[in-house]
Amino acid sequence: MLLKENKIVEKICEIPVTLEDVSESIFEGVSTKNILMHRLLLPEESGSDSYYLCEGLCKPVFSEPEIVYPYISGTFSEKFACSSPYRFMLPYELSEGGKKKEYNVVPPEELEARFPMAYRRIMEFKKQFRHDISPLNSADYSIKGKKLLEYFNTPKIIATEGYHLQAAYDAAGNSVFGDGCGIVLKDPSKYPYVTAVLNSPIARLFPAVCKSEMIFSDYTAPTVLRRFPIVFPDNRLTENLINTVSSYLLFLNRQKYATRYGVPDWLKELAGFYEQISSLLVLDAHFLNDIDPRLLDALEENIHPYAGDMDSEDSDSLLNALYYIKQQILETSGSGKFKFNVGLPGMLSFSTER
């Protein structure tokens, strides 16, 4: 079946269910424009958890790890898995006693007593960048983005934009992000599927749906992203397959990030294969319901949830297992090549070769 791009955009506009409908909240990240709140970079070799490198300083920086969190940006983010060499010092703490989680900035006198390394760092930056030697005020290091703090340590999807929209599942919920959106879903079981949809080729067509909003707003602004279309498959098998493939991709992308001296081609190809399968299934659920039955049978036969903990098991054996599954899919399908073409060459056209 062939569809022209404008016809696909029309179909996207007709999808009644949006990301807003399935989300509890979609919100912006923190503002990182405060020059005293620079990102920290993990050095390649470090003997201490509190040793960082810092934007703006050509020397090591020390800060208490209790208030330093992973920082995700569009430039360095990965699809499916949160990974970044950057950290962000966030001197806020949870206020107890209310129905709603509230995070408040740690006052300067408490910061000096409880986190003296962080206090000294902020004072140093204040003198160096603002040429200001006045006593530290909480306004010096406060940030915008309190909605993010309300959902801190809550599982979420972090959608950022590098070359294209990228979505990563933050299971711990403790990652800080600047440009982009945090997405907390009403149904936690839908995180793998929605993450896969946001990483699919549909995201490349989505700007055409929201041209008027994007004149005044960024692609990943909440007002725009709320309109992202979501179709859940009628066939439970398809959703289960996508969820399982998403778990494979979480593991593979973490492995790519953990590879210190460059990602080997075979690992890129393995991740690319499963990402392609995920995109095929997402597109089929949204538009065609016309996937090659041989491929669907091969996927059903070979793709199953991993019974153990993918974070704690031996990575080499898991990588071998995922490579074996790939080979079985290609062999049991009866064909070494699959094509899924809906009329957008290079965007919605996929093939895998043996």
Q: Are residues 39 and 133 in the same domain?
A: yes
Asked if the structure places residue 159 within a domain, the reply is no
| Tally of structural domains, the chain | 2
**221 in Cβ contact with 246 (< 8 Å):** no
With a pLDDT cut of 90, the percent of the chain lying above it is 25
Report the alpha-carbon distance of residue 329 to residue 76 in Å, rounded: 31
Tell me how far apart the alpha carbons of residues 144 and 184 are, in angstroms, rounded to a whole number.
19
Q: Report if residue 59 sits inside a domain.
A: yes
d(C-alpha 41, C-alpha 90), whole Å:
14
Q: Which domain holds residue 242?
A: 233-337
Neighbours of 213 (CB within 10 A): 17
pLDDT per residue over 219-232, tens digit each? 778 888 898 889 89
Confidence band for 340, pLDDT divided at 50, 70 and 90: very low
Residue 162 located in a structural domain: no
| Higher pLDDT pick, 4 / 180 | 180
User: Rounded to 10 degrees, what is the CA torsion of 15, 21, 25, 30?
Assistant: 10
Q: What is the structure's pLDDT at 124? A: 84
Q: Is 306 within the bounds of a domain? A: yes
- Tell me, yes or no, whether 216 lies in a domain: no
Q: Is residue 5 part of a domain?
A: no
Question: Residue 264 pLDDT more than 90?
Answer: no
Q: What is the sign of the dihedral through the CA atoms of 257, 263, 269 and 270?
A: negative
Residue 348 in domain:
no
**pLDDT confidence of 142, banded at 50, 70, 90?**
confident
Please report the pLDDT score of residue 352 as a whole number: 34
pLDDT above 50 (res 348): no
Boundary of a domain, candidates 131, 147, 163: 147
Instruction: Count other Cβ atoms within 10 Å, centred on residue 240.
Output: 17
Q: Could you read off the pLDDT of 49-102 as tens digits, one per residue?
A: 556 666 666 677 788 888 888 888 766 677 898 887 788 888 988 776 666 777
48 and 142: one domain?
Answer: yes
Q: What is the mean pLDDT of the chain?
A: 80
Contact assessment for residue 181 and residue 72, using Cβ atoms and an 8 Å cutoff: no
pLDDT at 147 over 70: yes
Give the phi and the psi of residue 42 in degrees, each rounded to 5: -70, 125
Cβ within 8 Å of residue 127, ≥6 positions away: 133
Q: Is the pLDDT of residue 320 over 70?
A: yes
pLDDT greater than 50 at residue 127: yes
Domain assignment of residue 48, yes or no: yes
Strands 349-353 and 337-341 come out as: antiparallel
Q: Give the percent of the chain with pLDDT over 70.
A: 76
Mean pLDDT confidence for 114-133:
87
